[in-house]
């Protein structure tokens, strides 16, 4: 199966109202080309799942500045004044999730788990509306898994089948998100022949990758 598509074909798979996971940490490891093309469309009302909202001119922050997002599930927004302004004006809904909890919820979504127990957030607004479970005399929050219609991720290298290698801190949430979405589109810097990547270097196996867009 040929997984390679061009940027226009990638954008055609995104619809208004879609729930999308975006890899990246303050824009590092984000699919910059796909995001840039998405800005040119009339697609809107997106729900995005991401670690943070990056900056006004970098990463998913640009989608927020351009009013394409209706809900954000993330760990922090402090580096993007536009996110803060829209949140205060009730133009965008935000579900704040502690960073480790966010990663684990995505991991649960990708591994078919029903959730996990954590003490993080007990006694704070994080526990609002959540089930508290006692185990061995201690209380925990039951955190539910996160999944998405689509994951848009970035990798340094892909082989022709779609096995992925990430580089340094660009790894961040990308491997987790590749397992937790119905459809996965990866933007890659470099493509090599199948067999050129040592098996132990593969962080995301090809079975999780639906489409590849080469920079």
Instruction: Report how far apart, in Å, the C-alpha atoms of 15 and of each of 9, 10, 193, 211 are.
Output: 12, 11, 32, 16
Across 126-154, average pLDDT = 96
Q: If we measure between CA atoms, which residue out of 158, 150, 168 comes closest to residue 196? A: 158
Q: What is the pLDDT of residues 160-200, one digit of tens each?
A: 999 999 999 999 999 999 999 999 999 999 999 999 999 99
Instruction: Report how far apart, in Å, the C-alpha atoms of 117 and of each of 50, 109, 145 are.
Output: 21, 14, 11
Cα–Cα distance for residue pair 35/92, rounded to 1 Å? 19
Residue in the structure block whose two tokens are 């990308």? 174
Does residue 43 sit in helix, strand or coil? coil
The tokens for 2 are 């040929």
Cα–Cα distance for residue pair 149/48, rounded to 1 Å? 10
Q: Are 194 and 164 in contact (CB under 8 A)?
A: no
For the chain, domains (ranges, CATH) are: 15-112+145-192 (3.40.1080.10)
The tokens for 172 are 């961040």
Q: What is the pTM of this model?
A: 0.94
Q: What is the pLDDT of residues 36-92, one digit of tens each?
A: 999 999 999 999 999 999 999 999 999 999 999 999 999 999 999 999 999 999 999
Residue in the structure block whose two tokens are 């999308």? 20
Across 16-39, average pLDDT = 96
Residues, the chain: 215
Bridge pairing between strands 138-143 and 116-118: antiparallel
Lowest-confidence pick of 30-34, 37-41, 123-127:
123-127
């Amino acid at each position: 199966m040929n997984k390679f598509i061009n940027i226009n074909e990638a954008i055609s798979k995104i619809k208004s109202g879609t729930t999308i996971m975006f890899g990246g940490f303050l824009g590092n490891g984000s699919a910059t080309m796909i995001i840039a093309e998405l800005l040119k469309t009339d697609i809107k009302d997106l729900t995005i799942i991401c670690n943070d909202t990056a900056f006004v001119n970098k990463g998913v922050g640009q989608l927020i500045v351009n009013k394409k997002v209706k809900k954000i599930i993330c760990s922090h927004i402090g580096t993007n004044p536009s996110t803060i302004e829209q949140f205060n004006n009730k133009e965008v809904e935000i579900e704040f999730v502690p960073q480790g909890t966010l990663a684990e919820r995505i991991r649960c979504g990708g591994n078919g788990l029903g959730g996990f127990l954590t003490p993080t957030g007990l006694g704070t607004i994080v526990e609002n509306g959540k089930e508290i479970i006692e185990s061995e005399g201690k209380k925990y929050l039951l955190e539910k898994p996160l999944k998405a219609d689509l994951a848009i991720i970035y990798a340094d290298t892909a082989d022709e089948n779609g096995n992925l290698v990430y580089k340094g801190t660009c790894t961040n949430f990308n491997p987790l998100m590749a397992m937790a979405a119905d459809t996965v589109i990866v933007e890659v810097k470099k493509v090599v022949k199948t067999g050129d990547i040592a098996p132990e270097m593969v962080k995301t196996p090809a079975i999780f990758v639906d489409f590849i867009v080469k920079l």
